[in-house]
Structure 1
Amino acid sequence: MSTAVKMDEEAKAELEALQAEIKLKTGKKVTQQEILSQLIRSATDDRSTFIDSFRDGEVALNEAAIDQFNEGQISSGVETDETDIDEILYG
């Protein structure tokens, strides 16, 4: 079952250029549908990076940066609950 996908002229031109480059470098003729299917599989392999590519501005921290941040945290040994936080923030 196939469904039509609408894309702008620039994306269509890039898809056609990719199709031509695959033919040139591999000697294999592939359909645009095959290319899109492979691209989707590739994006699924690294889903978080693909999703992050749609974010505006800064991307989320990677795991190494999160680990580095967490290593700098220490416990003061004092239990803090919501009422303590409210009292500190709002008096």
Structure 2
Amino acid sequence: MATAVKVDEDAKSRLEELQAEVRLRTGHNVTQQEILTRLINDAYESHEAFVDSFRDTTVPLSEDEKETMQRGRISSGVETDEEDIDDILYG
């Protein structure tokens, strides 16, 4: 079952370039549908990174964002070690 998907001219051109590159390097003729299916499957395998690529913000934080976070930190005067954290989290 094939469904039409609209892409802009730049994307269409890149898809055609990929198709030609596969044919040139491997000697195999592949359809644009095969290329898109492979790209979608690859993106799905690492979908966390793919989804994150659509976020407005980036990780790691910028230097300005790091400075803003550090300015908001205060010291409670109480030293906390790993056992304290485990007790708080896991009881």
TM-score (ref. length: structure 2):
0.65
Tell me the number of residue pairs that the alignment of Structure 1 and Structure 2 aligns: 69
Deviation at 1:55, TM superposition (A): 1.1
Greater length-normalized contact order (CA 8 Å, ≥ 6 residues apart): 2
Q: Distance in 2 between matches of 1:44 and 1:38?
A: 10
Q: Which runs of 5+ in 1 are unaligned?
A: 62-71, 80-91
Are 1:40 and 2:37 counterparts?
no
Deviations 1:46-86 (A, max 9, x none): 1100101111131479xxxxxxxxxx98648xx8xxxxxxx
Query: 3-state DSSP class of the match of 1:50?
Result: helix
Q: Distance in 2 between matches of 1:31 and 1:60?
A: 38
Deviations 1:14-69 (A, max 9, x none): 000000000000000000000000001101111100101111131479xxxxxxxx
RMSD of aligned C-alpha atoms?
2.8
CA gap of 1:27–1:3, structure 2 versus 1, over 3 A, is: same
Query: 3-state DSSP class of the match of 1:57?
Result: coil
Q: Which residue of 1 aligns with 2:74?
A: none
**Stretches (4+) displaced over 3 A:** 72-76
Q: Distance in 2 between matches of 1:18 and 1:48?
A: 24
Q: Which runs of 5+ in 2 are unaligned?
A: 62-79
Identity over the aligned pairs, expressed in percent?
54
